[in-house]
Amino acid sequence: MAGVTPQPLVARVAALRDVFGRQFGAAPTVVARAPGRVNLIGEHTDYNDGFVFPIAIDRDTLVAARPRTDRQVRLYSDTLRRASQWSLDAIEPSRDQPWSNYVRGLTRFLEEEEVALPGADLAIASSVPLGAGVSSSAALEMAAGTALLALAGVEMEPSTLAMLCQRVENQFVGVNSGIMDQFISGLALADHALLLDCRSLRYEHVALPADHVIGVADTGVKHGLVASEYNARRVECDEGVRRLQEVLPDIRALRDVSPEHLATHATLLPERVARRSRHVVGENARVLAAVDALRNGNLAAVGELMYTSHASLRDDYEVTVPELDVLVDAARGVRGVVGSRMTGGGFGGSTVTLMERRAASQWERSVRRAFRERFGRPPATFITAAASGAGLVLS
| Contact footprint for ligand GLA (CB under 6 A) | 43-44, 46-47, 177-178, 180-181, 344-345
What is the spatial distance between Cα 322 and Cα 364, in angstroms, rounded to a whole number?
18
Give strand pairing partners of 74: 85, 121
169 touches 137 (CB < 8 A): yes
Picking from 263, 299, 303, 264, the residue whose alpha carbon sits closest to that of residue 282 is 263
- Residue 279's H or E segment, with its range, is helix 271-295
> Closest approach of Cβ 227 to ligand GLA, in Å?
10
CB of 6 to ligand GLA, least distance (A): 22
Nearest CB to ligand GLA, comparing residues 58 and 169:
169
181 is catalytic: yes
Give whichever of 47 and 382 is closer to ligand GLA, judged by the CB atom: 47
Is residue 273 within a helix (H) or strand (E), and if so which, with residue range? Answer: helix 271-295
Q: Across the strands, what pairs with 85? A: 74
DSSP 281: H
Q: Which is nearer to ligand GLA, 257 or 393 (CB)?
A: 257
- Report whether 281 contacts 51 (CB < 8 A): no
Instruction: State which residue, 170 or 298, has the beta carbon closest to ligand GLA.
Output: 170
Q: Where are the beta strands (DSSP E) in the chain?
A: 30-39, 51-52, 54-67, 72-77, 82-87, 120-126, 192-197, 203-207, 212-222, 337-343, 348-356, 380-384, 391-394
At closest approach, how far in Å is the CB of 140 from ligand GLA? 13
Q: Which is nearer to ligand GLA, 13 or 180 (CB)?
A: 180
CB of 345 to ligand GLA, least distance (A): 3
Partnered with residue 31 across adjacent β-strands are 64, 394
- Tell me how far, at minimum, the Cβ of 169 lies from ligand GLA, in Å: 7
Catalytic one among 78, 181, 256, 325? 181
Q: Which residues are catalytic?
A: 181
